[in-house]
Amino acid sequence: LKLPYMTWIFQYGRTARSVGQTFLISIIGMRSQDWRKVLNYSDDGVDNFEISDILKHISNILEGSPLSSQWDIDQALLTYSILSRGYCSLPDTSSMWTYLRLTPPPPPTSPCYQGDAVVCCRGSEAEDCTLWHFHPHEREGEMKMVFDQIMNKTTNL
């Protein structure tokens, strides 16, 4: 966190290039005070960071949107929060603005790190992977196999 960014989005490029892909919640970095600001909905009537009230608020905003499913509501909430509070932006042509019912604002005053990490998983043909994504059905054996490939430098990761 020594570079002049307030927000670090490791896979920004995935969201910027695709239709309907939110920011991946697990690989976003901010300082604790910025997480607090981004997730503070007290101006919208949500007190004390009450998660059920925050989810109700974001569900009302996203009602009827392709992002309204319960499966990825956490990522939709975080993407909405980051964009609506100016911690990062996306190209004006991104479908995410429509999905989140937001208008593209002027560029953020503090730029965000816009990573373009290549994520691999079983069956992917990507090269130069910087991250391996395991799926729930993969178990210890697969993890050990990928670990060994990385350690033996027999993978593109």
Q: What is the pLDDT of residues 81-127, one digit of tens each?
A: 999 999 999 988 898 998 898 998 777 666 799 988 777 777 777 66
Enumerate residues 6+ apart whose C-beta is below 8 A from 118. Answer: 126, 127, 128, 129, 130, 131
Extract the tokens encoding 16.
């910027």
150-154: average pLDDT: 78
pTM, two decimals, is 0.78
Q: Is the pLDDT of residue 155 over 70?
A: no
Angle, CA of 11, 135 and 88, to the nearest 5°: 20
The percentage of residues in the chain with a pLDDT greater than 70, rounded to a whole number, is 87
